[in-house]
A = this chain, B = another copy of it.
Amino acid sequence: MNSESYRVQAGKKISLADWSTKGHAGLTKEEGQVLLAPLLEELAEWQERLYAENQQALLIVLQARDAGGKDGVVKKVIGAFNPNGVHISNFKVPSEEERAHDFLWRVHAQAPRKGMIGVFNRSHYEDALVTRVYKLIDVVTAEQRLMHIRHFEDMLSSNGTRILKFYLHISQEEQKRRLQARLDEPGKNWKFNPGDLKDREHWDQFTEAYEAALSTTSDDAPWFVIPADQKWFRDLLISKIVLETLKAMNPQYPAITYDLKTIEIK
């Protein structure tokens, strides 16, 4: 399971049809679950170092179609962290106040502070995706927004925030199965949103919009296309990539600037 093979190469035009939704790197579900448990423990350990060091931040962006599994990733992978060091932002349809500002205004306010792991459950990318599909903005404006996003993420990176972006890639059939489950299983009814069906009718336009976004914004803040039809593999691969990134950031416990031995607690 080589993380790099799921990474979108900077500036290379991609076609999502070339990317598997069902990939499992030759693992069975049972093997994957055995591998996941120690990864989650290691994630928590490296998070403590990040928090203690208090010099760098990690921002994880989750994008997917409806029922793509964003909430599942938050529950399973992000749930492994100490909640004290995690800040999750859910970006919904912008409010009137938010719409009165530039599209990055509300996003910037949610950027993680040093020592923290920030999670964007949906993100600024929606402003170049859903708006593009429904022609609220034209293609030129959408492309311009992607440029502004690149510049914004570049600025965050320069200031100590590492960024990882995951597109949870599900097939049209798998989405159908999951939406149908929300209709069929009473415990899941509340998750069903008729609006999701409208997005589903625009499947191909969303594909195009995602391809444009992924192809042009995968530099220092890389995109990974995660095969997400199988939840266990999705969680495993994301955990692995986040862990590798935390290790590469290599946060250190802060140096103690005084002699601990001279301190007496009365």
Contact = CB atoms under 8 A, between A and B. Distances in A.
Interface of A: 52, 71, 74-75, 78-79, 81-84, 86-88, 90, 119, 121, 176, 179-180, 183, 187, 189-192, 194, 197, 200-201, 253-254, 256, 258, 260, 263, 265-266
B263 A190 contact: no
B189 A256 contact: yes
A25 to B, nearest CB: 26
Given A83-B74, A84-B74, A121-B84, A260 B180 contact: no
Contacts of A266: 197, 200-201
Contacts of A191: 52
Given A79-B83, A83-B83, A200-B265, 8 more contacts: A71-B82, A74-B83, A81-B83, A84-B88, A84-B121, A183-B265, A189-B253, A194-B258
B260 A183 contact: yes
Contact of A265 (B84, B90, B180): B180
Contact of A84 (B75, B189, B197): B75
B263 A183 contact: yes
12 contacts: A52-B190, A78-B83, A81-B83, A83-B86, A84-B90, A179-B265, A190-B254, A192-B256, A192-B260, A197-B263, A197-B265, A201-B266
A84 B120 CA distance: 10
Contacts of A263: 183, 194, 197
A192 B254 CA distance: 11
